[in-house]
Structure 1
């Protein structure tokens, strides 16, 4: 019995054609894929389902890590407390104009930040003896924040013992958050229009 004869390798010219053909296909796929990539999705107003609040759809915003820490940068009171808290709002106070008629809306993130500031100012006014001017607004804000916390239902586990073993809710580690810097940038861009 003789050995079976193996087929000869394709000719050099066939291999070169195959190589350049594969390169052309890869090039076409890469070029075709990049043609559809846009730097940022144009914001649009979306109503997720009938009767629901509209959402300002910015597309995928990515995520960032935020360290959990007790900061001194946002004090309750003091000489720079008001300016520190108001600096958290972008130009225009967090109001965006969307749709064909450019109707104004406030993004929930900025409504929430404003409400935290209202509650802070109400606390300071209470300590100083004159809370009446902010009482109704503070009540609205407390209820609004309660609803937002319930609606978002953050499921992060937080230990009920601190690192020393004492009973206390102890948050540690990093949070993975929607990249709020992108939201601020898009709001600033919208305000400039």
Structure 2
């Protein structure tokens, strides 16, 4: 039999452990390791770029489908987020601002809700006024197709060049200034004739 004082201490210890576990889980969305963050701040040299997953055609929240072959010739910003990720919510106004500034300049945006559900993703899009297409990647397979993008690296932003190759990776929260600088450099690159 547990005496009342011991029972209270046990309950307190369980509550502390549960709170610690929740804090670790929530902070994981903003805590990428230092090498990922530093590696993701500039453009990847043209000769080192890998193709984006062109044949993957995920279903959008609007029920349509979209693949990179549909966007060939555009620079594409793919932002990975989750409705439960606080840094994702914090960066969304910057993404909306950059989308508005570059929408008529050959830049397309795609939002990807990682390990989230359709209802929460729709609420996030409506609440934060996301002006571009988004999809739900419930099992994380779309994020995995880009390499190291997953729930522990959120938010994450991938920039795809005119040729459909991954040109930059940003792990962690981005800003309008950082994203605009990268987009300006990508837009200055000349697409191959073809």
Coarse TM-score class (shorter-chain normalised): under 0.3
- Structure with higher Rg: it is 1
What is the TM-score when the length of structure 2 is the normalising length?
Answer: 0.26
What is the TM-score when the length of structure 1 is the normalising length?
Answer: 0.26
